[in-house]
């Protein structure tokens, strides 16, 4: 996830839950809900699984701070022979920046251990005709991995008119002025809108940041366009993750671990994996998720007090 320019302070999970609930008609359908088992952390469920798919924000880190004890816990899982992969909606960051962050925080993930929604979107572009894409992304991260001919959307109205389609990677440089320009351009001439990060919000030190999914759903409501999403809870990122999982591991021995019902848990469940919701950090920040689970019908297999 990118750290969005607009931040909702106070970790308002209730507000964010309502935002996710309002767009349920565009999300995958969950498996039938079942009772969730409660456990302390990943160590407590290690015997159940061979492969751990970990969200980043709310599981590995909050903003630029590693969650205490998680580096050691992941190292311990590996010593038990478990495969640990990161499956993240951090589409705003080039792969090199993601790896540099994890190393800075003390994690030792190899390149092949990280699957991002940015990677899923870029892979999908290979099957599409070449276009001059307008980019919702922070130019500060440079052009690494971005398609030839694509250009950053800022405050030039003509750029929005000239784009042959739009790619949403990150919202850290996005503003309401730019949102209005993109909405106007799509009203005037509907074009493809491909979204690398479906998250509506992300946990940061100051609260919850607004993410590309928030803006994409607003565009869909305002213009009638149908965004195509490539991150959790949608299939593309999980299809890519499957290519990294050791051969022969059955789905019930794979667990998707995350802090958000409507992305990590819904996506992992829809992909056929089992799921574990982190209660103590991120979206719920220590609050009880029971009411949200009942309202949403999205039930994790496990609720963990901490990663």
CATH code, 73: 3.40.50.1000
Task: Tell me the average pLDDT across 96-114.
Answer: 94
What percent of the chain has a predicted confidence (pLDDT) above 70?
95
What tokens appear for 214 in the block? 């928030």
Predicted confidence (pLDDT) at residue 30 exceeds the cutoff of 70: yes
Statement to judge: residues 137 and 112 lie in one domain: no
Task: Tell me the average pLDDT across 273-291.
Answer: 92
Statement to judge: residues 259 and 198 lie in one domain: no
Statement to judge: residues 100 and 180 lie in one domain: no
Statement to judge: residues 105 and 249 lie in one domain: yes
Whether residue 49 is contained in a domain is answered as: yes
Statement to judge: residues 55 and 99 lie in one domain: yes
Whether residue 2 is contained in a domain is answered as: no
Task: Tell me the average pLDDT across 175-190.
Answer: 97
Q: Are 169 and 150 in contact (CB under 8 A)?
A: no
- The pLDDT, as a whole number, for residue 280 is 93
Whether residue 111 is contained in a domain is answered as: yes
Whether residue 84 is contained in a domain is answered as: yes
Statement to judge: residues 77 and 215 lie in one domain: no
Q: The domain containing residue 77 runs over which residues?
A: 8-119+233-304
Q: Cα angle vertex 224, ends 231, 4, to 5°?
A: 40
Statement to judge: residues 202 and 268 lie in one domain: no
3-state DSSP assignment of residue 220? helix
Q: What is the dihedral of CA 101, 107, 109, 110, to 10 degrees?
A: 70
Give the C-alpha separation, 200 to 216, whole Å.
Answer: 9
Q: Mean pLDDT over all residues of the chain?
A: 92
| Confidence label for 223 from pLDDT (cuts 50, 70 and 90) | very high
Instruction: Judge if pTM exceeds 0.85.
Output: yes
Question: For the segment 31-67, what is each residue's pLDDT rounded down to a tens digit?
Answer: 887 789 999 999 999 999 999 999 999 999 988 899 9
């Amino acid at each position: 996830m990118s750290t969005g320019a607009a931040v909702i302070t106070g970790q308002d999970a209730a507000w964010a839950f309502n935002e996710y609930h309002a767009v349920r008609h565009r999300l995958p359908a969950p498996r039938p809900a079942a009772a969730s088992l409660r456990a302390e952390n990943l160590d407590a469920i290690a015997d159940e699984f061979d492969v751990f798919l970990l969200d980043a924000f709310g599981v590995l880190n909050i903003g630029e701070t590693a969650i205490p004890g998680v580096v050691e816990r992941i190292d311990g899982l590996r010593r038990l022979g478990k495969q640990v992969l990161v499956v993240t909606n951090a589409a705003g960051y080039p792969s090199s920046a993601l790896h540099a962050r994890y190393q800075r925080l003390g994690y030792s993930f190899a390149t092949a251990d990280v699957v991002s929604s940015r990677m899923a979107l870029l892979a999908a572009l290979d099957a599409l005709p070449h276009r001059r894409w307008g980019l919702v992304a922070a130019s500060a991260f440079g052009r690494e991995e971005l398609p030839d001919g694509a250009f950053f959307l800022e405050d030039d109205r003509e750029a929005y008119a000239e784009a042959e389609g739009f790619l949403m990677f990150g919202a850290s440089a996005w503003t309401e002025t730019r949102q209005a320009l993109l909405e106007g351009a799509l009203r005037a001439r509907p074009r493809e809108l491909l979204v690398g990060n479906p998250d509506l919000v992300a946990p940061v030190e100051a609260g919850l940041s607004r993410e590309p999914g928030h803006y994409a759903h607003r565009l869909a409501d305002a213009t009638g366009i149908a965004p195509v999403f490539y991150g959790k809870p949608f299939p593309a990122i999980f299809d890519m993750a499957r290519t990294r999982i050791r051969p022969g591991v059955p789905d019930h021995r794979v667990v998707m671990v995350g802090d958000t019902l409507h992305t990590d848990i819904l996506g992992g469940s829809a992909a056929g994996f089992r799921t574990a919701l982190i209660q103590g950090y991120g979206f719920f920040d220590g609050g009880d998720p029971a009411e949200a689970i009942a309202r949403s019908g999205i039930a994790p297999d496990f609720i963990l007090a901490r990663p």
